[in-house]
Amino acid sequence: MWHWLLVPFAYFLGSLSSAVITSRLMGLPDPREEGSKNPGATNVLRLGGKKAAIFTLLGDLLKGVAPLLVAKVFSSPNDVLALVGIAAFLGHLYPLFFGFKGGKGAATALGVLAGYSWLVGLFALITWLTVAYLSRISSLAALTAAALAPVFVWFVLGSPVLTGSTVLMCSILFWRHRSNIQRILRGEESKIGT
């Protein structure tokens, strides 16, 4: 039963907003109030530059991967791993410590995928980097990686539970990016570096 304590731990860890914490430590504007008003690495890049964005990105990735690594140390079964991953992801989206107003979840989702399997994380990262390089649109890269993530999980791990949790996580990620999807379709989405 103690395995299930990892689920609230993952949510609390996910609730630590890397974007807000990094911005406060570096004296930058609150990313929830400036730019795109999304507390994520892309908005922090616009507001504070590459160094702040890298710290934010690493923090968001770590929030996803760390609780899963802890769960694996204790040999948690796949159903627990699935819930731990979803909890970390939802903590980022709806952070307890920041008024339940979080980011869109792309980096934390990547961390969760890497926590399931480093190979799954690598495939998702390569997908993101390829689409970002070709399109220069961060949200399109994230959405493409999310669309393919359940396929990666299934072929690498063959786990219906982890594949199902990935479908759920990525469906939520698509919903959180609905305004980005509309702008992409209109050709109005901001490009990386602008």
Write down the domain spans for the chain.
2-186
Mean pLDDT within 158-164: 97
CA distances from 45 to 14, 65, 127 (A): 21, 22, 21
What whole-number distance in Å separates Cα of residue 73 and Cα of residue 154?
A: 22
Mean pLDDT within 73-90: 94
Q: What is the pLDDT of residue 34?
A: 84
Q: How confident is the model at residue 183 (pLDDT cuts 50, 70, 90)?
A: very high
Q: What is the pLDDT of residue 194?
A: 62
CA distances from 26 to 11, 21, 54, 81, 102 (A): 25, 9, 13, 34, 19
Mean pLDDT within 38-42: 83
Q: Contact at 8 Å (CB) between 7 and 80?
A: yes
**Tokens coding 9:** 């731990």
Radius of gyration of the chain (CA): 16
Q: Three-state secondary structure along 131-181?
A: HHHHHCCHHHHHHHHHHHHHHHHHHHHCCHHHHHHHHHHHHHHHHHCHHHH
Q: What is the pLDDT of residue 45?
A: 83
Q: What is the pLDDT of residue 170?
A: 96
Among 37-41, 103-107, 114-118, which range has the highest average pLDDT?
A: 114-118
Amino acid at 130: T
Q: How confident is the model at residue 1 (pLDDT cuts 50, 70, 90)?
A: low
Token look-up 């980005």 returns 180
Q: Among residues 114, 168, 174, 172, which one has the least CA distance to residue 144?
A: 174
Could you tell me if residue 20 is left (phi over 0), alpha (psi between -120 and 50 degrees) or otherwise beta? alpha
Mean pLDDT within 46-58: 89
**Tokens coding 59:** 């923090």
Phi, psi of 103, rounded to the nearest 5 degrees: -85, -170
Q: How confident is the model at residue 138 (pLDDT cuts 50, 70, 90)?
A: confident
